[in-house]
A and B are shown apart, each in its own frame.
Chain A
Amino acid sequence: MDLLEYQGKQLFTRRGVPVPQGRHAASVEEAVQAADEIGYPCVVKAQVQIGGRGKAGGIKVAQNREEARAHAEAILGLDIRGLTVRELWIEEASEIAVEYYASVVFDRSAKAPLLMLSTQGGMDIEAVADEDPDAIAGLHVDPLLGFQDFHGRRLAFEAGIDEDVVRPVGAMLAKLYEVFVAEEATLVEVNPLIVTPDRQVKALDAKVTLDDNALFRHAENAELRDLSNEDPQERMAKERGLTYVKLDGDIGILANGAGLSMSTLDLVAEAGGSPANFLDAGGGSKAEAITSAVEVILSNPKVKAVLFNIFGGITRCDEVARGLIEAFNQIGAGGKSIPFVVRLDGTNGEEGRALLADANLPNVFIESTMDGAAEKVVELAKQAEAAPA
């Protein structure tokens, strides 16, 4: 789960990472009040989970109340690369002498946290890594040992930051590591980490990704989801406990197992089609789950055809077929005139296909191979596109 800047900064405050003072606002009035409390000059910052907010006009400095109001009015509702701004963070303006970059990353390859520090702050760090990899100092921390002060010193000297701030930057790295471990994050990034003219060290931005699997033991973090910009299908799927990812295409997909689901998307793309979603119905694939899944898939108005790709292992295909028939009866999926291609193979595949054939569901095409099913659904989607609406 990716956090918004202000949510990340609230975690920072909880763990003692120095950040500029700020207030949250969801309306123009709240923004003006927050700005008055903070004092002027202050910065009005759009809260959306995307980079390049400044260039898009989402970050502006206000010298007085009138400007704060004008900026809040301009930024609230602004569309930044497809995301609508619904929240603001009003922050005291910071004077910047130097900008650095600092992060703690969950390095799955090394199976250890990776600490990074660079003097190239305020830039796209992937670009820095490509163009000038030596500009980023990095080291792995043994997760059984945890952060030690020498880690901070070593990084600070290797990165070549100003010597008078080696100690406070090292202290901030220790705190960022504490955020990373205590909040069970997979990314904690500060870009830029600033040094003010009076040599104070602060995190001017915060990018935090939390591990979804750990939210059960961080109840307060589980509340932080950015519901305002969540895709409606993705939200619906989450509420029903389904693993769903929205994509751009027009072919709805349901498969069982993450690997087979991904492979099904790839096969549809190979056959010239464009998947509308990823949906893993999971191992059980009981009738109820299938009904839910069909509802979520069909709630996406772009969907022109649907592919079910089930390989029964422990799951029996006859059970899946019963679930599908029940789903059709309950929600009248066939009535929406969207064609379904159903591929059932594996345990009790023949029985499952026979059940479906007997049920004689409208607009349902039964296939026994994955390749054949992918080709069929692409053909049907193209027909639907060609036909007048």
Chain B
Amino acid sequence: MSILVGTETRLCTSGITGREGTFHTLRNRDYGTQVVGGVTPGKGGQDVDGIPVFNTFHQAVEREGANTAMIFVPPRFAADSILEAEDAGIELIIAITEGIPAHAELQVYNTLKKNGRARLIGPNCPGILSPGKASVGIIPASFFSQGNVGVVSRSGTLTYQIGNVVAQRGFGNSSIVGIGGDPVPGTDFIDVLAMFEADPETELIVMCGEIGGDAEERAAEFIAEHVSKPVVGYIAGFTAPPGKTMGHAGAIVSGSQGTAKAKAEALEERGVRVGRTPTEVAELAVSLLGAGSAAV
């Protein structure tokens, strides 16, 4: 098992004819993901290395049964593209695009919530990888193998860093989910934690947070009440000064809100082990898994 993407995924990329869109869609296909189409308005009828291009998501759903969308179009078109995918009945929308205006994200989030048909991952995220099954997004799949560690993270490179250390110790992953670094993520830690809790393949969860907002604090409460599997946490941004956006639009300490210290403390108070460095996170995960398998 894995979560969100797998052998049932039928992917359609918005912005498939762009440089990045083409590159990553083909990489996803090479990995084994079923790519059934792409959308670029005005280029319907063309193909990208054999992948049919449609003018609308509606056509991609009608003709190819697309059930997953990957959004690769520039920020000014991205919110519209997400809403189009949702309107067409796509169930899972993964938005890689960075730089979507916050108010547009608010409209998208609340529209999807009201309609209750689709799940959005991201925006500003690296995507989802279920090793051995499917990859949707830009996660470098070669570092990861199939296994029992579920990873959920607000950042990309940091996830690869931690995942790589875990992999070097001989452990693999059920799924790796990047929820993105924007202020209004479509899917939060809590949603993904619940999926990993229900996923029989996942035995341990690694959760990578960062400064800004209160998603980590809310996740800590959720873990205490609803997650029986061991969770190892990491928080980036202890040295971030207040009022400064640290790369990700959502990574900002506002006044006394959203500090790394408060997040780490909230997790630790609820019994989640928090690593101080990415290496320590990997070591904690390995020691917990080692103990688990020794008991079997």
Contact = CB atoms under 8 A, between A and B. Distances in A.
Given A311-B161, A347-B140, A369-B279, A262 B102 contact: no
Given A269-B238, A314-B140, A211 B101 contact: yes
Given A213-B99, A259-B248, A109 B214 contact: yes
Contact of B237 (A184, A216, A262, A346): A262
Interface in B154-177: 154-161, 164
Interface in B225-242: 234, 236-241
A181 B104 CA distance: 10
Residue with the greatest number of chain A CB neighbours at <10 A, chosen from B76, B161, B239, B241: B239
A260 interface: yes
A262 B210 contact: yes
A176 to B, nearest CB: 15
A7 interface: no
Contacts of B111: 144
Residue with the greatest number of chain A CB neighbours at <10 A, chosen from B101, B103, B111, B154: B103
Interface in A264-286: 265-270, 275, 278, 280, 283
A73 interface: no
Contacts of A211: 101-103
A325 B208 CA distance: 33
Given A184-B102, A211-B101, A262 B156 contact: no
B293 interface: no
B49 to A, nearest CB: 18
A259 B210 contact: yes
Nearest to A106: B102
A229 interface: no
Nearest to B140: A313
Interface string A101-132: 00000101101110000000000001000000
Nearest to B211: A262
Residue with the greatest number of chain B CB neighbours at <10 A, chosen from A113, A184, A258, A266: A258
Contacts of B215: 109
Residue with the greatest number of chain A CB neighbours at <10 A, chosen from B161, B250, B260: B161
A262 B76 contact: no
A245 B276 CA distance: 22
Given A143-B106, A280-B247, A371 B279 contact: yes
Interface residues of A, number: 51
Contacts of B240: 262, 265, 278
Nearest to A312: B140
B107 A266 contact: no
A245 B142 CA distance: 32
A184 B79 CA distance: 15
B107 A143 contact: yes
A41 interface: no
B246 A261 contact: yes
Interface in A352-389: 369-371
A278 B238 CA distance: 12
Contacts of A299: none
Contacts of B241: 245, 247
Contacts of A217: 76, 101
B101 A370 contact: no
A260 B279 contact: no
Give the 9 A-B CB pairs with smallest separation, nearest first: A259-B155, A258-B247, A257-B157, A259-B158, A214-B101, A313-B140, A262-B236, A260-B157, A280-B247
Interface of B: 75-76, 99-104, 106-107, 109-111, 113-114, 138-140, 142-143, 153-161, 164, 181, 183-184, 208, 210-215, 218, 234, 236-241, 244-251, 255-256, 260, 276-279
7 contacts: A106-B106, A213-B99, A214-B102, A255-B157, A262-B211, A266-B276, A278-B246
